[in-house]
Chains A and B, each alone.
Chain A
């Protein structure tokens, strides 16, 4: 069992990243009931934004100094793309049947991937992302890379800030009101268009943070990275209860830990040897999702809502 702390740490770090991306799915869904399948690509362009900033800095800048600027760069690019997507791809379709924006989202996702593939210098291959030098740290029996500390610090900070924003600020409360009933919110004088843009922007900013974390962890960014991460994050959002921000983070962490533990331990169960290991981890993650949805269709923290239609 000496492997357990390490596997929990692996799952927690991966899950925190899933959670950060899942926020974007959940916020947008909570307000406009749209599954923004291009969100994985908004995450991906954030990684390239951060990398561009790093490459623009004079060579030899220490990563610790560069990181805040890279983070800002990554967030800026993600947010810009997120807002542009809302303005030009989704807003014209508001009120259209639900399938239309969904298909638009898939199209946008392919377009963004191909844009990076075509126009980013050497974007056809994986680009090397800077990494922290130095030895890994030993925390409670688990080896943790210096780069992974970033997500372990950034994810809770982001969640606290978001929780504060939603519960305490005027815009945050306006957001809650819009989520509950957009028409009434409008009648109360809330500019719902602005709130929707805000939801897209916050989701994109979190994706930008996640992209920097991903780059620091794997040492590369590439144009296809948004697909799998986006799919997993969407799963995390559903697992936690789509529409609920804390649910998204919880879903992410549960999913990450489930994957790590499935890789490590399923094959130790007698008779299950061939279903264990890295190849089957996604299967177990989705088995978990199905089980949760069977027992709690609204997700872990989701609330049962009356059908709006």
Chain B
């Protein structure tokens, strides 16, 4: 009896599931009143929690791109909708979100996530579902080029994954070069937070700084949840560096920087884009003089970004666009352009295998975006290696120097 009832339930469930799938398949269901097709763009970012300042800027900027595409009727016959999910900066939540979005047939691509660690958990889901995943902020090289990129054995990992942010390899090297040439530091102390992003950034910094002749006077690893760094500070102090480099994010580096200065280490702290947030300065009363790099040029300085900034203000978002606003706008726009190409190639209609076509189209997308020219190389990385170094001045980040890393020496 037990067996039979189990069989019955299984059959019933399978039939039910099949019926539901049939309901969800592309038909007239997703057409709205005016005969337009709705395309949903998924968004995954930490909109709550410690990194929410960055995450909310990402969500708002994606919303802005979607609204503008709809207003300008960017793709004829298609209305875009944003479905924003919160990943709380947790890999498992990111994976659940990706699965949830993949289950909705109208979703043709996901913008996000913020954290490289979260991206690792979402990539597989995106590949299995042929669903484009484009991150405005992930910088870990492994995500696109595989774990052996250091040995120069670069292999594209996921055909569905793209990003508009430059990798840590480039950014860390930029930081190393900037520290040596512009800050004129000779001795650096390197600290990382043991997370994917922090370790990668710190090791690229170390390599470049040492290559140029700088001395690494010590390395240290901390836990990203720690807020008491006094013991580490005392070690740094006795190593007497000219600069402390931190691979990690602002919730920890804010208190770290303050405790360094409180503890008598008066040299600046330098970090990557994970530190480039207004909250870093809010959490840290002694941020004056600290450095952070971020991908792209400061949007305020780009003529191409004037419109974006004006639109963002006009849209009346409560939160600022933060470090990845411009990059997110470009990511979302790249996805919209890919949909546009696919629709135009198919006589103004979405093809049945829209997801696959969009992924293919992503490789060929090219346009002038907020942060510069947007295009992707054979790994899915952005071809734009522009990076900017910022320094805290009077309670705000001031842009000091921008260059594409490859042309650093020429400028």
B-binding residues in A (CB < 8 A): 2-3, 6-7, 10-11, 13-14, 117, 124-126, 128, 131, 136, 143, 145, 217-220, 222, 224-225, 228, 259-260, 263-264, 277-279, 281-282
Contacts and interface: CB of A to CB of B under 8 A. Distances in A.
Given A10-B230, A11-B231, 11 more contacts: A10-B231, A14-B228, A124-B49, A126-B50, A131-B285, A218-B259, A220-B254, A264-B234, A277-B221, A277-B235, A278-B226
Nearest to B262: A145
Contacts of A222: 50
Interface residues on B, range: 35 or more
Contacts of A279: 194, 220-223
Given A124-B49, A143-B264, A219-B255, A281 B283 contact: no
Contact of B231 (A136, A143, A281): A281
Most B CB within 10 A of own CB, among A3, A259, A278: A278
B227 interface: yes
B79 interface: no
Interface in B223-266: 223, 225-232, 234-235, 237-238, 251, 254-255, 258-259, 262-264
5 contacts: A218-B259, A219-B258, A220-B227, A222-B50, A263-B232
Contacts of A278: 220-223, 226, 229, 231-232
Nearest to A2: B238
Contact of A263 (B48, B49, B235): B235
A149 to B, nearest CB: 13
Interface in B366-400: none
A125 B220 contact: no
Contacts of A10: 230-231, 234
A173 to B, nearest CB: 38
Nearest to A131: B285
A22 B226 CA distance: 19
B227 A143 contact: no
A219 B258 CA distance: 9
Residue of B229, B230, B285 with most partner-chain A CB within 10 A: B230
Nearest to A221: B227
B83 interface: no
Contacts of A125: 49-50, 52-53, 279
Contacts of B50: 125-126, 222
Contacts of A126: 50, 251, 254, 279, 283
Contacts of B279: 125-126
A31 to B, nearest CB: 31
A131 B258 CA distance: 11
A13 B230 CA distance: 10
Contact of A220 (B222, B229, B255): B255
Contacts of B238: 2-3
A14 B262 contact: no
A124 B232 CA distance: 27
Interface in B34-66: 48-50, 52-53
A124 B47 CA distance: 10
Contacts of A117: 48
Contacts of B251: 126
B231 A7 contact: yes
B282 interface: yes
B234 A124 contact: no
A263 B221 CA distance: 10
A139 to B, nearest CB: 13
A281 B235 CA distance: 14
Interface in B181-220: 194, 219-220
A218 B228 contact: yes
B328 to A, nearest CB: 20
Nearest to B226: A278
A219 B235 CA distance: 21
A63 to B, nearest CB: 13
Contacts of B223: 278-279, 282
Contacts of A228: 225-226
A138 B219 CA distance: 27
Nearest to A13: B230
Contacts of A143: 262-264
A222 B224 CA distance: 14
